[in-house]
Amino acid sequence: MTPYAPLYALHLLAAVVWVGGMFFAWMILRPAAVETLEPPARLRLWLSVFKRFFVWVWVAVAALPLSGLGMLHMSYSGFDAAPRYVHIMMGLYLVMLALFLRIQALQLPQLRRAVEAENWPAGGEVLGRIRKVVGSNLLIGLALMTLAAMRPSF
């Protein structure tokens, strides 16, 4: 096993946890929650889900640049020599990070306050905005993973 292999494995696992978690939440959990739970229970469920999932997103947020920079220096001796798709991956990571921070710092506290106040319409509105940001982040993450898998030579 080369020294590159553990970094690559960590990088892939972090991406799968983050993007896969968003895919599960968007495509599986949300429709099931809407189908089976009333708004108060659904909003409480989402607060609990976010609390647990965001711990893992923070791990991914830290692991991705650390492992990515390690691989970058092992493979290309730095950013300047890296192929363009690596630059794009780094840029998309920053976009995804910004969207995640928007949810974490701005929208999640709003959701928490609405649920604590039992203001279900306001909570539903905030959750709808979070859903849109997560949907955007999911699309970016899927595009990023596709780009990484294809490794285009442009």
Answer yes or no: is pLDDT of 81 > 90. Answer: yes
Q: How many angstroms separate the CA atoms of 60 and 83, rounded?
A: 23
Sign of CA dihedral 138, 37, 116, 120: positive
Number of domains in the chain: 1
List own/partner pairs for 29-37 with CB under 8 A and 24 or more apart. 30/131
- Residues 70-97 have a mean pLDDT of 95
DSSP 29: I
Angle at 42 between CA 40 and CA 46, to 5 degrees: 120
Answer yes or no: is pLDDT of 78 > 90. Answer: no
Taking the CA atoms of residue 104, residue 56, residue 41 and residue 126 in that order, the dihedral angle to the nearest 10 degrees is: 20
- Residues 55-70 have a mean pLDDT of 97
pLDDT at position 18: 98
Answer yes or no: is pLDDT of 153 > 90. Answer: no
Range of the domain at 128: 4-150
Smallest CA-to-CA distance from 137 within 82, 93, 96 is with 96
Give percent of the chain with pLDDT exceeding 70.
100
pLDDT at position 1: 84
Q: How many angstroms separate the CA atoms of 122 and 126, rounded?
A: 6
| HSE-up (13 A, CA, CB side) for residue 14 | 20
